[in-house]
Structures are given as structure tokens and as C-alpha cells.
A = this chain, B = another copy of it.
């Protein structure tokens, strides 16, 4: 599963900028880059920081080996001086950021990378790839988890997205509140619990539905989940309980009017004495469909397409911007705040930033405060950025369950309207000081 080097997950222009800066003698200038977004996806109330752990892995594996250097040389992408610089390169700067699982808002400086211009600029593409993808999935997952309440969510979207994006999507879904995944690679790589039993093909393989159920129960036990919508649902439920007995683990419904069918199936199961047999529903669910099934007798939801495509927002609009730089490599030299200034949008605020979440008297978040000067005394203890890497060494690895728990706490700290599914403004404003 390992990707040997992340160094080529990089846009061509990062390397040509490096070459030109090396020539000009500006490559070593001390620089501060920040990741932020100017807006949340349309109508969303909050964003979810996800992928930070993967970013740290990617930074550690950002090395130009012989294969990478040979490619750059053969294609004439950069000159020999630059290739020499790359050959010995490893990131030696500092990274601060919002801890993974935290929520964010427009302008939140969710990651800050500080070091020489050369080493920081090279990381732009891979950092944004990871954060833009993973945060988009986690945001959708978080909304679905809110809608599902105590009922568990199963991530099963691998087949709807790139095979490795799927693994990252499972991870982000887990951060956002999903309980399990169907994706074995996600179980292998990240330890996420995997689940699954059978598809329609399994029923169709056999001479009858009864044969298929018998085969499955004989091999996987009565606690298995039988798929009951290949032919007639009512008949399938009866056959399922006949074959597995009333201790049948669950039945899965994958088509039709789920609200209606779930009620019918529950009634039938109860009549057959299978009161403890659970009902799992799958079939193009999103957070709205999940919410609409709140009153239905459903025990678990399987979500695929809408999860891995971010429920309408498959990417975030995070950018990686140079916000300050010195005139030399000396980090003690005063930093010059910088920002694009042209008319027509995409402007940003220069300067290295801090961020804090201001709470009201009940301890509920009331504003995301972002500033470039000294931190006001009342916000010192509510700062959001933590140190993630120091002198190139990762200092803040953590287990995924801690990230998952942090997300629940962060979301619970927002005003209640954060979890409304309807479109609205960010649930707290961002204030600049």
C-alpha cells in the first residue's frame, strides 16, 4: 500500500519557481505559507479539518530519489543546480495547524508552513490535494452522522471513487463519525473496522434464494446480514427467518421506497419472532435521506456515492498562500506581510496569523477570531493552532479515534443550528483583529 515518495505529487511550476529563486538568490528567504479557504461550500454551516495526519506522512515521504530525479532530468524540467538541491532535500521547517477533526470557517488558517521559501513552496500541491479531498469527505460525513444520530453509518463508496481516494475517504468518513467501512484497504491501512456480507450476485449465483441464504448462513453464521430485495422482499424475509432462525443478525434493503419497505419488513420480522433482527438500508443515501428515515425502523445506514463525492461538494476551496517573508534566511529578521492585491477577487490578508474560537457565557462558540498582532488576553487559552512539525520532525501524531472524538467535541461546541441540514451561512462569523 505504501507510496515510496510523495515528491512528484507536485505541480510542475513549484519546481520551476524553485529553480528561478535559486538563480536569483531568493530561495532561502524565510517564508510563511498558510492554508485557508475564502468560503465554505454553498450553504454549509461549518467545515471539518481532515487529512492532517496524511499531510504529515506526505511531508515525511517528500524525497527526491533517483527515479524522480532521473525523470526531471530527462524531461528537462529543471536544471542541474536545482536537481542537486533536490537530491539532498528534506523539509526542515515548522508546521502548525488546527488539530485534525476540528471545525473551521472562512479564513481559518488551518495549516501554517514555515521555513525557507524553497522548502515550503514545494509542498503546496500535495498539502492541498490531501486537505481539499479529505476535508470535503469529512464535512459530508459529519452532516450524515448528525442526521443519523445514534444509528451507525457504514462507508461503502469505494466503487464510486478512485481506488486510493476511496481509502482516504474511508479515513475521513471515520473522522466525521462513520462507524465502519466496506473498504478492506482502509481497514488494512488505518485500522478502520470493516464490514459486509453479500450482494445480489450471490443470490443470483444460486439456484434459488433459499439456496443462497442457506449457503450464506452455513458459512457466516446466523448473525449475518441477508440481502432481501433480489426478488420479492416479503417472501425473502420469510425465507431468511426460516433459514437462519429468529436470531438472524440483520436484513439489508438496497432498493425501493426505503421508508415504506423498512416499516413492512419490521412488521414482518416481528411477526416471525425475529424481534432482534436488525434492518440495514443502503441505496443512494445522503444526509437528507438519512434524516427522512429517522422515524423509520432502521438500525444502520450504508452510504456510498454521496459520501465519497462530498454530498455535492467533492472538494474544498482551500488555498496555500505566501503570507509573509523575510529578506534573508534569518528567521529572526522581521517578516514582511505579503498578499495578492489585484482587482477582481482572490485577494487575501498578509501576515502570520493566530486563530482562536471565542465562546459565549454558556461556553458555546460565538466567533472565529483571526489576527496578526498579539493575541488578546481573553483568547489566549482558546487558540486553535497547535504545533505539528518542528525542524522537519513530526511532533503530533495521534490515533484516529482521538481525531474522531475531537470532531464530536468540536461540533458539539458550536451553536445548535450548526447541525441543521438546510442551507445557511457559516454558523459563527469570522472576525479579523
Contact = CB atoms under 8 A, between A and B. Distances in A.
Interface of A: 1-4, 6, 8-17, 19-24, 26, 29, 31, 33, 58, 67-68, 71-72, 75, 77, 79, 117, 121, 124-126, 128-130, 132-134, 156, 158-169, 182-185, 187-188, 194-202, 204-207, 211, 214-216, 218-220, 229-233, 254-257, 261, 283, 305, 308-309, 314-315, 317, 320-322, 325, 327, 338-346
B184 A20 contact: no
A1 B4 contact: yes
B77 A184 contact: yes
Contacts of A33: 201
B11 A182 contact: yes
A143 B229 CA distance: 38
A11 B232 CA distance: 25
Contact of A162 (B168, B255, B346): B168
Contacts of A317: 305
A302 B256 CA distance: 43
Contact of A341 (B133, B231, B322, B346): B231
Given A130-B163, A261-B344, A308-B315, A158 B20 contact: no
A12 B184 contact: yes
Given A29-B205, A255-B342, A256-B343, A197 B16 contact: yes
Given A125-B158, A233-B342, 14 more contacts: A1-B8, A9-B183, A11-B183, A20-B215, A160-B315, A161-B165, A201-B322, A204-B322, A205-B325, A229-B340, A255-B345, A261-B344, A305-B315, A305-B317
Given A185-B9, A204-B322, A314-B314, A159 B128 contact: yes
Given A133-B162, A255-B344, A346-B255, A215 B16 contact: no
Given A11-B184, A159-B11, A133 B165 contact: yes
A207 B11 CA distance: 24
Please provide the 10 A-B residue pairs with the shortest distance between their CB atoms, ordered closest to farther. Answer: A256-B344, A13-B196, A12-B196, A24-B215, A128-B159, A162-B165, A201-B322, A20-B219, A204-B338, A23-B219
A9 B166 contact: yes
Contacts of A206: 24, 26
B158 A129 contact: yes
A430 B68 CA distance: 47
Contacts of A314: 161, 309, 314
The copy count of this chain in the complex is 2
A342 B158 CA distance: 25
B344 A164 contact: no
A204 B325 contact: yes
* Listed residue (A163, A255, A344) with the most chain B CB atoms within 10 angstroms of its CB: A163
B342 A230 contact: yes
A300 to B, nearest CB: 14
Given A12-B184, A204-B322, A230-B342, A21 B162 contact: no
A340 B315 CA distance: 35
A195 to B, nearest CB: 6
B24 A219 contact: yes
Given A12-B196, A165-B161, A183-B11, A321 B201 contact: yes
Nearest to A206: B26
B158 A13 contact: no
